[in-house]
Amino acid sequence: MSKQQEKKYWEFKALASGEGDLYIYGDIVSWQYDNDDTSANSFKRDLDALGDISRLNLYINSPGGNVFEGVAIGSMLKRHKAYVIVNIDALAASIASVIAMAGDEIRMPRNAMMMIHKPWNVVAGNAVELRKAADDLDRIGVSVEESYLAKIGDKLTPEKLTELLVAESWLSAQECLDYGLCDVIEAANQAAACVSQELFATYRNVPKDIAAKLNEPEAPKASGNDQETAAYLQQIRETVGLELQNINSYLGGIING
C-alpha cells in the first residue's frame, strides 16, 4: 500500500484544555512505508505530537486485528504520563480490548460489549514449524493475559480468565464490571457498530445482534446539521475497506488477537 493510499485507523485531537482525544475506530492493522515505519511507529509520532497533556480520552469501537500492533499501542498508552480514560463506545473486541486495559479508568455504556479470546494465527509448514507456531502463540497468549490480570486485580482468578479466553467470551458491560475489566457503566448510547465482515468471520461466538449488522444496508445519508457526522462515518467505512484489502493480502502471515 502506498503512502498516498494509507489511512490511519486512529485519530488524535488536541484540546485547548491541555487534554487530548483519541479515536480508535476500525481494524487494528499493520502496514509499512519503509524499513523504519509501521503503524505503531506512526501512532507514537501522533501521540507525541499532542505534547504535554494531563488527560487523554480514548474512544474505542473496534473488532480487533493485529496483536503486535495492538500490544505496542497499549504499552505506549500505559507508559504515557497522562491520565487515560477509555470509553468503549460500542465494541472492544480481541486486541482492541487489550488496548483498553491501558486505561486508568475504563467506561462502558450499558449496551457496549467486550470480546476476549486466545490469539490465533494462520500457519502453513511442516510439523516442526507448526509446533513452533503453537509455542509462539502460547507465549503471546501469556503476554496478553498479563494485560488483563494487571487490570482486574483480585476480581478474577487467572484460571477463570483462561477459561473465558479459551471460550471466546463476548462480555456485556455488567460482566466486564463484575470481572474488573471496566470501572464505570454509563447509560446506553447509539454508537454505530464497527463491522468487519472478514474479521468477524474468524470468530466463533459472535452474538446474533452483532452478526445481524453484517447484513444491514447502509444508512441513508444525513442532512442538515448531521452532514458532518455522516461524512465522518463514511470516512470510517472507507478506511476499513482499504485496510481489509490490505489484510487479505497478507493473512497468511498475520497474527490476530
Give 69-112 pLDDT, tens digit per residue.
Answer: 999 999 999 999 999 999 999 999 999 999 999 999 999 999 99
Give 21-40 pLDDT, tens digit per residue: 999 998 898 876 555 566 88
- pLDDT value, residue 246: 44
Q: Which of 62, 97, 117, 196 is catalytic?
A: 117
Q: Residue 128 pLDDT more than 60?
A: yes
Q: What pLDDT does residue 138 have?
A: 82
Provide the pairing of β-strand 55-62 with 105-109.
Answer: unpaired
Beta strand residue intervals within 10-53, DSSP E: 10-14, 19-25
Residue 117 annotated as catalytic: yes
Cα 130 from Cα 189, distance rounded (Å): 44
Could you confirm whether 80 is annotated as catalytic?
Answer: no
201 closest CA partner among 144, 166, 244: 244
In sequence order, the β-bridge partners of residue 58 are 22, 86
Question: Considering the entire predicted model, what is its pTM?
Answer: 0.75
Can you give the pLDDT at residue 162? 94
The whole-number pLDDT of residue 251 equals: 42
The three cell numbers locating residue 79: 507508559
pLDDT given for residue 1 in this prediction: 39
**Does the structure show a pLDDT above 60 at 220?**
no
Q: Which of 39, 62, 94, 196 is catalytic?
A: 94
Q: Mind listing the domains of the chain with CATH numbers?
A: 10-256 (3.90.226.10)
Per-residue model confidence (pLDDT) at position 142 = 86
